[in-house]
A and B are shown apart, each in its own frame.
Chain A
């Protein structure tokens, strides 16, 4: 064994000692080198718990978070995606545009956070489930640990979408420690012009707030497409400084017929 190989092997063993169970189910790369570099093993840990937070009123609606989650779980094969929520506002055709086939979703509606957490845990112990997504207001430390353990045991990936919070409560939630392997915050960004009038490519600000074995980082990406993949957003040099007025664009639509 060469010294280089020995070094890699040793690093590997140290990593395994440090995080005995977190990464044994492999990772799901984002396919974007900048993101994957920030994550241990070059991707999102499978069979683990991840938190997705939002920003401002969009967190209340859970829209960007749902798109981001759809792009992730849509790429995890071998079973259903159990999506547990309080409000029945999840819209299949929209999820499909971010890479999650609605036919794979088992929707569970529950009235309380505790019921949602219970459902997630049950699903994490069930066969034929690829991933679970839960939309909750608060994730207590103990509940997070239970989910993380169940995910580690079964290899099923769990995403917790933080929703229905505002202001100070949300900030406190983002600051609290967590049993999750990663904590993300996603927020909408103004779209980039794509050469057509109207709304261009939808974009997100994706922040890795915390990551076991990784460093916080942030990226501007184009929203996950129908394959579930995000792309680094290329700021175009000729982007207008101020948002365009739609009135001018109406003329363009008319000119375009």
Chain B
């Protein structure tokens, strides 16, 4: 690919090397006059006094090439920038297995060519069996010789050269030996003995070739012919599952992006469901028209294929996406795909009909849903037997469908989230909550790995007494929890000596309680990985930290108090969250 085809005038970029000014890159107009990269600037100016120059910005060039390679991910996850030290940069794309998604190699090449040309990127594009052959053809073949030049109508120079399968050998044979990606000294050595074209050495025994001209010549030749594998190291991790959505017109509206996220999630989930898998990390890439990619990365610590949940996680982060001039492709890629048993997720069933079923056994947990046990049995003899369905039908009919509920433990250390009353009527399709990263599982891993908003590594709980999931799994070290929890927490008027002390008395519901004993603090911080974000603590203080104290008054009543915010923050506010038995 040749850079800097800005206009018709000869142009070159210049780098300083060993005290001399050398040309780093030239545009086609300059190349047509015989100016080539590597030429000293003084020589070039003597040939072509009108040559315009600019200092080369190598780091910027490399970054731009990398962005372009990333953008090329729309064609295949296997892409990489190709930047040999000798110059002559390019992009490598492994399209094996993805060309058919574009209607074949010709269509893919045309699409890529059109998009590059639209951005004013001059290019030569070749498709061949091997990376070496494609490289050679892209740079050294004439457009007419081996392929079909598809696009000639654009202002920039483009050429698409497609080598049919199995014809790499014939395609590269007439090309100069320099097309083998050889060091210039090796090329000179070959020229000295009259070996000018690849065809001249293609039939030579490889060991003789290696002995006389160096191992590189034999290696590059074998790579170009496919006799030696040359794996492409992709830019990023290659996802195991990918779904893509292309838009006829570039989109930029957040609502459209959200719809795209939902569509892609459904497609991906459908595929994961067929395979019995769930994903733990997803990367939603929005490919902008200006060949940049905006990423949303989400993670769940447990494999999931819940479309509602996954889409919600991604949509919650849409505000980090800058659509620029528009987005033409969205690609959702799944990483860390693991087996996921089907009963952990069920496609939502239609809601129970609100009026009572005439037959017992036809309601909640009746044989309509007999595919699964209607209520998960937990422990011996404590199961939710099918005989309960008529009772909950009756209760639901009289008191409202939401009246009967289960207390479902949630894996959250936020007290009000650790236990949720889930109506039994939609118990079947209750959504599994995201599991927060567990102790010892790094803060960022398995959660948000987005590069735009790295979250501070706030541990879930970091008070003197560490607490973790208050849901299932009682551990002896777990701090006590009250039998009654107030939602929302009720403000109390508290009096304290030092800001990080529990109060020595407090007034709640117009009664004064003198604190005789206290335990704490147990610090509970916002679950930053949670889609809902912050603790709702009734005082509009997002990102709050709560310090919980268990206090006992003089009569022996035990309360759960917390102070909102950090001890140093004026003014501390105190709340009662529950009462212990």
A contact residues vs B (CB 8 Å cutoff): 56-58, 61-68, 70, 77-80, 88-98, 101-110, 115, 118-119, 122-123, 126-130, 187-191, 198-200, 202-204, 223-224, 226, 243-247, 249-250, 253
The smallest C-beta distance from B497 to any residue of chain A, in angstroms, reads 7
The smallest C-beta distance from A204 to any residue of chain B, in angstroms, reads 8
B482 near A79 (CB under 8 angstroms)? no
B418 near A93 (CB under 8 angstroms)? yes
- Residues from chain A with a CB closer than 8 A to the CB of B486 are 89
Q: Which of B497, B504, B580 has the most CB of A within 10 A?
A: B580
CA gap between A75 and B151 in the complex, in Å: 80
- Residues from chain B with a CB closer than 8 A to the CB of A110 are 399, 403
- Residues from chain B with a CB closer than 8 A to the CB of A129 are 388, 391
CA gap between A110 and B378 in the complex, in Å: 26
Beyond A79-B381, A107-B404, is A247–B558 a contact (Cβ under 8 Å)?
no
B-side binding surface: helix, strand, loop or mixed?
mixed
CB-CB nearest 10 A-B residue pairs: A67-B581, A243-B516, A128-B385, A91-B485, A94-B483, A198-B519, A92-B419, A127-B387, A63-B579, A190-B556
B483 near A91 (CB under 8 angstroms)? yes
A77 near B382 (CB under 8 angstroms)? yes
- Residues from chain B with a CB closer than 8 A to the CB of A203 are 556
The smallest C-beta distance from B513 to any residue of chain A, in angstroms, reads 9
Does B474 touch A at the CB level, under 8 Å? yes
CA gap between A191 and B516 in the complex, in Å: 10
A199 near B398 (CB under 8 angstroms)? no
A226 near B484 (CB under 8 angstroms)? no
Does B297 touch A at the CB level, under 8 Å? no
Q: Which of A64, A94, A250 has the most CB of B within 10 A?
A: A94
CA gap between A67 and B511 in the complex, in Å: 23
CA gap between A11 and B382 in the complex, in Å: 36
B484 near A89 (CB under 8 angstroms)? yes
Given A101-B378, A104-B382, 6 new contacts (CB under 8 A): A63-B483, A94-B482, A94-B581, A101-B379, A107-B406, A108-B404
A106 near B406 (CB under 8 angstroms)? yes
Q: Mark B392-406, 1 if CB is under 8 A from A, else 0.
A: 101100110011111
Q: Which of A96, A244, A250 has the most CB of B within 10 A?
A: A96
The smallest C-beta distance from B303 to any residue of chain A, in angstroms, reads 23
CA gap between A3 and B481 in the complex, in Å: 55
Does B58 touch A at the CB level, under 8 Å? no
CA gap between A253 and B522 in the complex, in Å: 13
B contact residues vs A (CB 8 Å cutoff): 378-385, 387-388, 390-392, 394-395, 398-399, 402-407, 409, 415, 418-419, 421, 424, 464, 470-471, 474, 480-487, 497, 501-502, 504, 509, 511, 515-520, 550-552, 554-558, 578-581
B518 near A198 (CB under 8 angstroms)? yes
Of A56, A103, A191, the contact of B552 (CB 8 Å cutoff):
A191
CA gap between A110 and B396 in the complex, in Å: 11
CB-defined A-B contacts under 8 Å, sample of 15: A56-B555, A57-B509, A63-B484, A77-B381, A92-B409, A104-B379, A106-B384, A107-B405, A107-B406, A110-B399, A110-B403, A122-B395, A130-B382, A191-B558, A243-B516
- Chain B residue at minimal CB-CB distance from A78: B381
Number of A-B contacts (CB under 8 A): 208
A66 near B555 (CB under 8 angstroms)? no
CA gap between A56 and B395 in the complex, in Å: 32
- Residues from chain B with a CB closer than 8 A to the CB of A62 are 484
Of A95, A130, A200, the contact of B517 (CB 8 Å cutoff):
A200
A107 near B421 (CB under 8 angstroms)? yes
- Residues from chain B with a CB closer than 8 A to the CB of A128 are 383-385, 387-388
The smallest C-beta distance from B573 to any residue of chain A, in angstroms, reads 20
The smallest C-beta distance from A92 to any residue of chain B, in angstroms, reads 4
- Residues from chain A with a CB closer than 8 A to the CB of B379 are 101, 103-104
B409 near A188 (CB under 8 angstroms)? no
- Residues from chain B with a CB closer than 8 A to the CB of A109 are 399, 402-403, 405
The smallest C-beta distance from A127 to any residue of chain B, in angstroms, reads 4
The smallest C-beta distance from A105 to any residue of chain B, in angstroms, reads 5
A115 near B580 (CB under 8 angstroms)? no
B580 near A202 (CB under 8 angstroms)? yes
- Residues from chain B with a CB closer than 8 A to the CB of A243 are 516-517, 554
- Chain A residue at minimal CB-CB distance from B469: A93
The smallest C-beta distance from B77 to any residue of chain A, in angstroms, reads 43
B581 near A68 (CB under 8 angstroms)? yes
B516 near A190 (CB under 8 angstroms)? yes
CA gap between A253 and B520 in the complex, in Å: 9
The smallest C-beta distance from A188 to any residue of chain B, in angstroms, reads 4
- Residues from chain B with a CB closer than 8 A to the CB of A68 are 581
- Residues from chain A with a CB closer than 8 A to the CB of B501 are 246-247, 250
CA gap between A90 and B392 in the complex, in Å: 19
- Residues from chain B with a CB closer than 8 A to the CB of A104 are 378-379, 382
- Chain B residue at minimal CB-CB distance from A186: B581
CA gap between A247 and B399 in the complex, in Å: 50
CA gap between A31 and B144 in the complex, in Å: 96
Beyond A57-B557, A246-B502, is A223–B407 a contact (Cβ under 8 Å)?
no
A64 near B391 (CB under 8 angstroms)? no
A103 near B407 (CB under 8 angstroms)? yes
- Residues from chain A with a CB closer than 8 A to the CB of B394 are 122
Of A89, A199, A247, the contact of B550 (CB 8 Å cutoff):
A199
- Residues from chain A with a CB closer than 8 A to the CB of B388 are 80, 106, 126-129
- Residues from chain B with a CB closer than 8 A to the CB of A244 are 516-517
- Residues from chain A with a CB closer than 8 A to the CB of B581 are 63-68, 70, 94, 98, 188, 202, 204, 223-224
- Chain A residue at minimal CB-CB distance from B382: A104
CA gap between A130 and B407 in the complex, in Å: 17
Q: Which of B424, B480, B581 has the most CB of A within 10 A?
A: B581
- Residues from chain B with a CB closer than 8 A to the CB of A101 are 378-379, 382
- Residues from chain B with a CB closer than 8 A to the CB of A247 are 497, 501, 504
